[in-house]
Structure 1
């Protein structure tokens, strides 16, 4: 506990010295406890200077997805993020969230990991999740809602993560239908939502929303199979981005989305989705599970976030997430 208290106090005065006597008086701990806390912080990657007669000064914080770092940016949320689990490595944050859901984990519990060994995307695809390079986050929700009312949650989440990236980084991604975030025509973020229903009643037991944002990768960090279609914030913006800052922004944005879901306020999300959807107005390819391709014109997104398309024979239809994937005529988006 002393480590967290000392860190919070040093962050309050970041860049300035705080005397050992002052820390001792404010926190009610001994000089020995202060020294041990500072030593532990240094092992965690914090740069803490100590100078006789002046005290301690925090000069640099690590780009670490720890609870202390994320909460230093987070502020107050209503539900999402009140319980925060930060892991060094996990198979999948979604899988972990589902496991703890069965153990009774609370509504709004967030799982964040520095890396995933088995990151998952839609339709069984893998999602590359290297250590120290991204924000891989899942939130466990237990809304008292009918499952049918949550069919659009994946698309809504895309808007929420766009909001978070814009808040933390000053740039707003676009959305490739249905839920991939893109920057510069390449994939920045993947989203996977999963729910569990009670067998006999069909009632919702829990909902897990997962998002993985590529933050610090260089082009060579991506496998050759995805290098041409993937990007990161570092590649797109040409600068380093704080992962705990982004993680906090994602948690806040998902908390706002959860409030909107429970109160039925989704109109603004649909309006924003239509504005941000890079698929609209383009001729695209629909690819079904068997690999069959159909060329269509993407016209609109309906109120359930289905893609309204005009087929080659002039007929109109709506395609749903899970039925098909969408690709540009010549690449990932275009």
Structure 2
């Protein structure tokens, strides 16, 4: 059975069920052999939903929201309340969606997928760094599989179609009050967003493939991320990342403080660090999270 069939929701009246209906928080506790639905607040019916699919064997807790401030913030709140990983949070819209370097992420209702996956932090810090690259590869492969388009990865982890961004990813690590360390991977995909704010109109775009189940895409991305988390060296993550890089071989500019630096992106290593040959022929190795990089046109 192909991934589209395995993760897609049951059809309703011959089409995938994507209608927007009034919702409450719905939490699925998916365990081997059982599914329990807990409800609180205002609810979106999920009867017949097969979002758990292959995730149920892994004990994934799934929370769906109509509106939320930020799925990453909700993942943190759930961790603080003792929710065990892995947990998946999906929202139809975000009022305070977050991007890298303190930026906001535009998250209008009904047109995008906004999700966060809560995982336990790895003991080896290098493994946690590689999760950023793994998240980009998981999202890119899922979009290609379910939407039929192949995005490019702009270092660190934005996905582009042509010269415009269709997906942003924010990976954060944190410790709860009890000392337990966690990682949350936030992913926002513009699926059918057309009306962007003025400041985003020239740099953002959407996948624009109709009939895609948001829940199916979220489940597919999550399934891949769990595979990568369990076996980070067995899925060709960095090979795919490099093969689909939007920056390798390109002239780039990045900022360090108030200084702009120019050069050519040469390579990406096994933990996602980017090597740039600067205009003075020196090499600069950049790590995720420390700079903002733009392709120099």
Do they fold alike, i.e. is TM over 0.5? Answer: yes
- Which stretch of the first structure deviates more once superposed, 72-81 or 224-233? 72-81
Q: Structure 2 CA distance, aligned partners of 1:154 and 1:81? A: 23
Aligned length: 266
- Which has a greater percent of strand? 2
Shift of 1:205: 1.3
1:196 corresponds, among 160, 163, 174, to 174
Pick from 274, 295, 305: which aligns with 2:242? 274
* Structure of higher CA gyration radius: 1
Distance 1:69 1:143, change over 3 A: farther
**Given the two structures, how large is their TM-score scaled by the length of structure 2?**
0.81
Shift of 1:83: 1.2
Aligned to 2:30: none
Give the structure-1-normalised TM-score: 0.73
Secondary structure, aligned partner of 2:144: helix
Q: Which residue of 2 aligns with 1:247?
A: 218
> 2:200 — aligned with what?
226
Shift, 1:260, TM fit = 2.0
Deviations 1:117-137 (A, max 9, x none): 000000000000000010000
Taking the aligned partners of 1:62 and 1:255, their CA distance within structure 2 comes to 25
> Relative to 1, partners in 2 of residues 1:191 and 1:180: Cα closer, same or farther, differing over 3 Å?
same
Shift of 1:318: 0.7
* Partner residue, 1:307: 274
In the other structure, the counterpart of 1:139 is 117
1:74/1:172 Cα in 2 relative to 1: closer, same or farther (>3 Å)? farther
C-alpha separation in 1, matches of 2:96 and 2:285: 33
Task: Quote the Cα distance in structure 2 between the aligned partners of 1:224 and 1:70.
Answer: 40
- Pick the structure with more helix per residue: 1
CA contact (8 A) 2:55 2:219 kept: no
1:328 equivalent to 2:295? Answer: yes
When residues 80 and 318 of structure 1 are mapped into structure 2, their CA distance, relative to the original with a 3 A threshold, is farther
1:167 to partner: Cα distance: 1.6
Gap regions ≥5 residues in structure 1: 1-10, 15-45, 47-57
Indicate how the Cα distance of structure 1 residues 271 and 63 shifts in structure 2: closer, same or farther if over 3 A, else same.
Answer: same
Cα deviation, residue 285, structure 1: 0.6
